[in-house]
Chains A and B, each alone.
Chain A
Amino acid sequence: MRISFLACAAAIALAGSAFAQQKQTVKLAFIGPLTGGVSANGIGGRNSADLAVRLRNEDPKAKYKYELVSLDDECKPNIAVQAATKAASDKSVIAGVTHYCSVTAIATVDTYHKFGFPVVVWGAVLPDITYRNKYAEVHRVNGTMINQNDVAAKFMTGQGFKRWVVIHDTTDYGKAHDKYFTEYLTKYGGQVVGRFGVTADQQDFTAELTKAKELKPEVIYFGGLTPIGVRIRSQMERLGIHAVFQGTSGIKSDSYIEGLGNKLAEGSLSFIEGAPWEKLPGGLYFTGKYAQAKYDQGPEAYGPFAFAAATLLMDTIEKVGPDRKRVIAELAKVKDKESIIGKITFDDHGQNIVPLISKYVAQDGKWMIWEDSEYGKGTRKLK
């Protein structure tokens, strides 16, 4: 009798644990720069995607258990193709939240297409990533640099500035920033008095900046990423150049301010796609949960996009199951989907139509939304 009681208890315990473990595990890939100059953004994105996965796994209603496979693309195209191939060739990985750097995102689209691997880009802004081809596998939750530069040029000319020197890195990313910004600046009546294409790992900019100083610009526009943005701003000071430093979404990073210190970063500008998520209800939910999770580093500017991308993929898998083809077919139908970055609607190229661009200014060691800053309120002036 005693033996049969124990056997029954063991059977119930086993059945219980089997019930708890019966959820199928579904893998998602995260690919971003986890090392290198822009790793703060990559780690912020990875943590945000990880947070989305954790929250989903805590949800008892979720049909699947999710696992995030993180891969480092080092912001280098060759490494990114290796990481993309590794993720896409693993049949157990259903979809990917991919890339912060445009050079890596554009280098990998063919790989994703070849493997039929659905991805949602979470940070890269080069238009060609979604618009060069019409790949059903490739989607993007953040906007492109086209709108960003349109708004930037209109805003800055509206502030009364007239003369710009453009410095951009010579990758596709930097060249595209130069192209779109110049196009819109000309449209809004601004003038580019000098243009310098620099390498993405250049250390010394004193020759270019001395030439720029001679041209007496009111604004130095920089189309590139944080590491050389920090170097250029720092060397501007060294050479006594008193011009406004206007960056793009590429410098909207806490590491930009940390690298320069509050004093040097003060008054730098950046523009980023999407609504100012800090103010949206979903954004507040995200920041609250992120703080609770106690990650070592902050989510950075594109963390919410990585969170939204991972959530979108998991919602899709919940709906159609862990099947790449079905996920691709379902993603094509995404329209007015609620997310922490606002509504997501993919056009026929898989590009989220993001009508809004947010303007940021560095004030007292923080990136502030322009309208909320003392600059926006008129109590401080850009100089």
Chain B
Amino acid sequence: MDVGLLGQYVANGLMLGVIYAMVAVGFTLFFGVLDIIKFSHGDVLTVGAFTGLATFIGLQMIGVASPWFQVFIIIIVAVAATGFLGALIAKYLVLPLRSAPPLNILLLTLMLGAALRECVRLFYPQGANPKPFPRLLPQDSLALGSFTLRLDNVILLGAGIGAIAAVHLVITRTRLGLAIRAVAQDAETARIMGIHFDRVVLLTFALGSGLAALAGVMNGLYYNEINFSIGLLLGVIGFSAAVVGGLGNIYGAILGGFLFAALQTIGAVLLPAIFPGLPSAYKDVFAFAVVIGFMAWRPTGLIAERTAERV
């Protein structure tokens, strides 16, 4: 295979991978802090993307024309609004059920996801229809043989990696991160040491949800289209990526995201080549099957969360 095409596959996979990794990092944050699986995470991403689109329409109406300024405001509003939604979910739905069986929270967030999805469908004007997302980033491209490098792809990839790195820095280098890690390790001891448990949980949910909103806006800017069900598959893929990487471990979530994207790309290209007549539509079947294989091989994930249990 030509090097240019190989580079193109890698670039495509990296773009997909960074979006999956951003969703997976959210799952891992929630699990790390509260040991819960928030199944509404994908739909929170949808809310973020639609908030971004509504903001764009608002900016158009008031006459803001600069694409860079539009992107900036869209991201700020989407991340802030969705982060606030995440904190609300934590305060009124997750924290009150903290002592309930984990299955209850799982079911609750699953139903919340369906409710959010339906709200977008019903309350956003003509929300059942796919919505064109504006092309706000520069469309310039550079052809290097059979490899085409788009400036908007580079910007989105950089933004995604930057966002994940920023979350990582917050977790590892700040007082908030220290508090999050303390709560994740032992909530009771953290409380005794003076950490405001509820506040840390709310901020963690706001952080994870804000990251999902950014992923939603990036998804819109990349594909130039969003619809009310984008979060459904992204949520499942993000969760699978977090699990296969090692739920609770941020590096695991990143690895899982890129791994899943690589599996989809390989599935789309190799399946029809190896089995003529088999459509590339089976790429998701292939990717999920391999993930099942990984989970059987490493049940705690490729990079398991470091835990110590004293007996």
Q: Is B128 among interface residues, defined by CB-CB distance under 8 A? A: yes
Indicate if the CB atoms of B8 and A213 lie closer than 8 Å.
yes
B225 within 8 A of A: yes
Whether A196 lies near B279 (C-beta < 8 A) is yes
Q: Collect the chain A residues with CB atoms within 8 Å of residue B225's CB.
A: 230-231, 234, 259
**Residue in A closest to B272 when the chains form the complex, CB atoms:** A196
B93 within 8 A of A: no
Flag whether B223 is at the interface (Cβ < 8 A).
Answer: yes
Q: B5 is contacted by which of A195, A199, A213, A261 (Cβ under 8 Å)?
A: A213
Check: A281 CB closer than 8 A to any chain B CB. no
Q: How many A-B residue pairs have CB under 8 A?
A: 87
Knowing A214-B1, A259-B132, the reply to whether A240 touches B141 (Cβ < 8 A) is yes
- Contact check: which of A170, A196, A234, A258 meets B224 at CB < 8 Å? A234
Cα distance, A210 to B283, chains bound together (Å): 15
CA distance A258 to B223 in the complex (A): 15
In chain A, what residue has the closest Cβ to B284? A199
Partner of A37, one of B130, B143, B150, B224: B130
Report the Cα distance A320→B269, complex, angstroms: 58
Per-residue CB contact flags for chain B residues 208-229 toward chain A (1 = under 8 Å, else 0) read 0000000000000001110101
In the complex, residue of chain A having the shortest beta-carbon distance to the beta carbon of B150: A238
Within the complex, which residue of B12, B126, B143, B229 is in contact with A210, where a contact is CB–CB below 8 Å? B12
Asked whether, in the complex, the Cβ of B281 is within 8 Å of the Cβ of A197, the reply is yes
As a 0/1 sequence over residues 117 to 137 of chain A, the CB contacts with chain B under 8 angstroms (1 = contact) are 000000000000000000000
Interchain nearest-CB distance for B268 vs A (Å): 4
Q: Does B2 contact A (CB under 8 A)?
A: yes
**B84 — which chain A residues lie within 8 A by C-beta?**
none
B264 within 8 A of A: yes
Nearest chain-A residue to B148 (Cβ)? A240
Residue of B nearest to A170 (CB): B281
C-beta contact mask, A198-222 vs B, less than 8 Å → 1, else 0? Answer: 1101111011101101100000000
Q: What count of chain B residues pass the 8 Å CB interface test?
A: 37
Contact B223 A196 (CB under 8 A): no
Residues of A within 8 A of B153 (CB): 238
Q: Are A170 and B9 neighbours in the complex by a CB distance under 8 Å?
A: no
B280 located at the interface, meaning its Cβ lies under 8 Å from any Cβ of chain A in the complex:
yes
Known contacts A197-B281, A202-B281; A39 and B129 CB within 8 A of each other = yes
Q: Contacts A227-B130, A259-B225: A197 and B9 contacting too (C-beta < 8 A)?
A: no
Verify B279–A197 contact, CB threshold 8 A: yes
Query: B23 contacts which chain A residues (CB < 8 A)?
Result: none
Taking the closest CB of chain A, its distance from the CB of B136, in whole angstroms, is: 13
Query: Given A39-B128, A170-B279, A239-B8, is A207 in contact with B265 using a C-beta cutoff of 8 Å?
Result: yes
> How far does the alpha carbon of A211 sit from the alpha carbon of B5 in the complex, in Å?
8
A189 surroundings in chain B (CB, below 8 A): none
In the assembled complex, the CB of A73 is this many whole angstroms from the nearest CB of chain B, namely: 13
- Chain A residues contacting B150 (CB-CB under 8 Å) are 238
A329 to B226, CA, bound (A): 47
Contacts of A204 in B (CB 8 A): 12, 16, 223, 264
Shortest Cβ distance from residue B45 to the other chain A in the assembled complex, whole angstroms = 13
C-alpha spacing A213/B269, complex, angstroms: 12
Q: Is the CB of A208 within 8 A of B268?
A: yes
A37 touches B129 (CB 8 A): yes
Mask of B273-300 contacts with A, CB within 8 angstroms, 1/0: 0000001110110000000000000000
Q: Choose among A37, A195, A199, A213 the residue that contacts B146 (Cβ–Cβ < 8 A).
A: A213
**Complex interface bits, B9-20 against A, C-beta within 8 A gives 1, otherwise 0:** 100100110000
Whole-angstrom distance between the Cβ of A14 and the nearest chain B Cβ: 45
Within 8 Å of chain A (Cβ to Cβ): is B167? no
Inter-chain contacts of B280 with A (CB < 8 A)? 196-198, 207-208
Taking the complex as formed, is A16 at the interface, i.e. its CB lies under 8 A from any CB of chain B?
no
Q: Are B146 and A214 in contact (CB under 8 A)?
A: yes
Complex Cα–Cα for A278 and B286 (A): 47
Which residues of B146-177 are within 8 A (CB) of A? 146, 148, 150, 153
Q: Which residues of B contact A158 (CB under 8 A)?
A: none
Q: Are A203 and B272 within 8 A (Cβ)?
A: no
The contact string, 1 if C-beta is below 8 Å from chain A, for chain B 109-136, is 0000000000000000010111010010
Residues of B within 8 A of A196 (CB): 272, 279-280
Cα distance A258–B129 when bound, in Å?
13
A204 to B19 CA separation, bound complex (whole angstroms): 12
Residues of B contacting A210 with CB < 8 Å? 5, 8-9, 12, 269
Which residues of chain A have C-beta atoms less than 8 A from B9's C-beta?
A: 207, 210
A200 to chain B: closest CB distance in Å? 9
When distances are taken between beta carbons in the complex, the residues of chain B under 8 Å from A22 are none
* Residue contact A207 to B130, C-beta cutoff 8 Å: no
Complex: A261 Cα to B146 Cα, angstroms: 25
Taken together as a complex, chains A and B put the C-alpha atoms of A212 and B308 apart, in Å, by 50
Q: How far is the CA of A83 from the CA of B129 in the complex (A)?
A: 19
With both beta carbons as reference points, the residue of chain A lying nearest to B127 in the complex is identified as: A35
Q: Which of B214-266 contact A (CB under 8 A)?
A: 223-225, 227, 229-230, 233, 264-265
| Beta-carbon nearest neighbor of A206 in chain B | B12
With contacts A240-B141, A240-B148 taken as known, whether A211 is within 8 angstroms of B269 at the C-beta atoms is: yes
- Docked Cα-Cα span, A201 to B223, in Å, equals 13
CA gap between A336 and B146 in the complex, in Å: 55
* B residues less than 8 Å from A198 (CB atoms): 279-281
Contact B143 A240 (CB under 8 A): yes
* Chain A residues near B15 (CB-CB < 8 A): 206
Q: Which of B12, B141, B233 contacts A207 (CB 8 A)?
A: B12
List, sorted by A's number, 12 A–B pairs whose CB atoms are closer than 8 Å: A195-B272, A204-B264, A206-B16, A210-B5, A210-B8, A213-B5, A213-B146, A214-B1, A231-B225, A238-B153, A239-B8, A259-B225
Which B residues have a C-beta under 8 Å from some C-beta of A?
1-2, 5, 8-9, 12, 15-16, 126, 128-130, 132, 135, 141, 143, 146, 148, 150, 153, 223-225, 227, 229-230, 233, 264-265, 268-269, 272, 279-281, 283-284
**4 more CB-based (< 8 A) A-B contacts, given A39-B128, A195-B272, A203-B223:** A36-B129, A211-B272, A239-B8, A258-B132
Nearest 5 A/B pairs, CB to CB: A197-B279, A240-B148, A35-B128, A207-B268, A206-B12
